[in-house]
């Protein structure tokens, strides 16, 4: 029986559930369901437990209908503005220096790092090996220590630390939704695993995932995460700015941002206005397109400047020749790459999870807003022994469908589908232990969120010259 994993992500603007399986061609996502939320999760913290539980139950129910089995054991994504990182060293003298260093020895060191004493309401969420010193040999890469000999090991770790209460609140949400957490993944580490290619992660790169409530930065070099940080403003901050300046509803501000927003004010016609028709007898609202662009550029510039500062403070500013990779839902903003290049003064690439997720996966998983949950599934498959997972329970059969006369309605026979060859591109990717076979098929073009929402604007806006 196939072993599936279910990943849950609680975000500022949505609750997401994804179900997938590991194949010879990469991770195949067979269900990806999202339920929008507003003002119930703020910067990664659950504020209205009841509404988050309701949204999660809805998302899980939708996913169960798609996959045909009961979802109970899940992987939980963790992140938020409360996250911080520190560097530590763990040392150990070996009793039998003539023996080879084993994976089990390194795991013991890792476990000791996780137990590092932090603040009263803090918890070490993950210890990421940075390298080892073995006797006089300095700077041994994390994947090279096993099999060596030595008298003493000095292990260096990047600790990802979070607020224990915030983590407990997320666990409580899943418990109230009748779900059992079997593993956790740090969300931006998932984004890095899904969006970066092998060349970028080896040579050095910074990834910025601009989501709804937070913008998450990850610096990767030599295939290892060297720093991660959370910037407590993102796409929702842009929406709130537009709402305030234009004096319109939050829902309308989000639509205006997606359909008409641009990240660079230079070159925008200062005579054009966006006329938003009033409802319920209220007057229409005029929003100058130049003002809209200035608001968006100002907030995104703030995000990019904050990310640049973190990169400079990390000590890796001159060690990321691959530049900047942008992902997350806000990547759909027009001219975002141009603005980022101007501020970072580096090469900038936009990315989704397309290189490491099979082409036959659920189409929505290829949108940039799903990069973190797609990557979390990849990381979870690497870290979990799926052979120990319990078998899935099929959904109860409610019996055959009937018409108004009580007669059984037989479904039409499905036409045979043309088989799709999954694809894998961009190398084995971050955190992937084994390279996957590659296909020569070209990737499908994925629709953007603007394409999906475009029809919602008909009749509501008038773009006057």
The 10s digit of each residue's pLDDT in 405-440 is: 555 555 555 444 443 333 333 333 454 443 443 333
Can you name the residues that pair with 133 across neighbouring β-strands?
A: 154
Q: What is the pLDDT of residues 361-381, one digit of tens each?
A: 999 999 999 999 999 999 999
Domains of the chain, each with CATH number or no CATH: 84-164 (3.30.1490.110), 201-350 (3.30.420.40)
Q: What is the pLDDT of residues 70-129, one digit of tens each?
A: 999 999 999 888 889 999 999 999 999 999 999 999 999 999 999 999 999 999 999 999
| Region 203-230 average pLDDT | 96
Say what the pLDDT of residue 292 is.
93
Q: Is the pLDDT at 159 greater than 90, yes or no? A: yes
| Region 8-21 average pLDDT | 95
- Quote the mean pLDDT of the chain: 86
| Region 44-64 average pLDDT | 95
Q: Is the pLDDT at 460 greater than 90, yes or no? A: no
Q: How confident is the model at residue 44 (pLDDT cuts 50, 70, 90)?
A: confident
Helix, strand, coil abundance in the chain, percent, nearest 5: 35, 30, 40
Q: Is the pLDDT at 230 greater than 80, yes or no? A: yes
Say what the pLDDT of residue 451 is.
45
- Residue 287 has φ and ψ, to the nearest 5°, of -120, 110
Say what the pLDDT of residue 238 is.
94
Rounded (10°) CA dihedral 233, 33, 351, 191: 60
Query: Where does residue 415 rank: exposed (0-12), middle (13-18), buried (19+ CB within 10 A)?
Result: exposed
**CB contact at 8 A, 133 and 92:** no
């Amino acid at each position: 029986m196939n072993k599936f994993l279910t990943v849950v992500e609680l975000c500022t603007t949505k609750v997401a559930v994804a179900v997938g399986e590991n194949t010879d061609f990469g991770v195949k996502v067979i269900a990806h369901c999202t339920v929008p939320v507003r003002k119930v999760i703020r910067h990664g913290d659950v504020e209205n437990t009841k509404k988050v539980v309701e949204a999660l139950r809805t998302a899980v129910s939708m996913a169960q209908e798609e996959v045909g089995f009961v979802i109970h054991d899940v992987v939980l994504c963790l992140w938020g503005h409360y996250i911080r990182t520190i560097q530590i060293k763990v040392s150990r003298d070996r009793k039998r220096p003539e023996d080879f260093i084993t994976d089990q020895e390194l795991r013991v060191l890792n476990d000791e790092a996780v137990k590092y004493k932090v603040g009263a309401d803090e918890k070490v969420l993950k210890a990421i090996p940075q390298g080892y010193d073995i006797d006089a040999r300095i700077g041994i890469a994390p994947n090279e220590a096993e099999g060596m000999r030595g008298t003493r090991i000095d292990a260096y770790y990047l600790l990802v630390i979070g607020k224990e209460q915030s983590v407990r609140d997320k666990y409580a949400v899943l418990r109230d939704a009748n779900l059992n957490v079997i593993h956790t993944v740090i969300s931006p580490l998932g984004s890095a695993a899904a969006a970066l290619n092998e060349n970028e992660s080896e040579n050095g790169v910074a990834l910025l995932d601009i989501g709804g409530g937070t913008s998450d930065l990850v610096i990767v070099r030599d295939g290892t995460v060297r720093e991660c940080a959370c910037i407590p403003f993102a796409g929702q901050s842009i929406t709130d700015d537009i709402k305030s300046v234009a004096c319109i509803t939050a829902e309308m501000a989000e639509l205006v941002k997606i359909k008409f927003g641009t990240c660079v004010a230079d070159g925008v016609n200062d005579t054009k206005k966006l006329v938003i028709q009033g409802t319920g007898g209220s007057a229409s609202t005029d929003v100058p397109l130049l003002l809209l662009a200035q608001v968006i550029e100002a907030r995104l510039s703030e995000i990019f400047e904050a990310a640049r500062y973190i990169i400079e403070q990390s000590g890796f500013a001159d060690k990321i020749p691959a530049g900047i990779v942008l992902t997350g839902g806000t990547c759909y903003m027009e001219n975002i790459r141009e603005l980022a290049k101007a501020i970072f003064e580096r090469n900038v690439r936009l990315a989704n999870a397309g290189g490491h997720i099979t082409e036959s996966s659920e189409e929505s998983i290829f949108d940039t807003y799903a990069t973190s949950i797609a990557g979390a599934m990849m990381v979870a498959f690497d870290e979990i022994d799926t052979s120990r997972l319990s078998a899935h329970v099929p959904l109860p059969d409610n019996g055959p469908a009937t018409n108004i006369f009580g007669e059984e309605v037989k479904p039409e026979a499905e036409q045979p589908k043309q088989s799709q060859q999954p694809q894998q591109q961009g190398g084995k990717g971050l955190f992937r232990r084994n390279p996957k076979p590659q296909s020569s098929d070209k990737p499908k073009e994925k629709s953007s969120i603007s394409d999906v929402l475009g029809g919602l604007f008909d009749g509501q806006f008038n773009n006057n010259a």
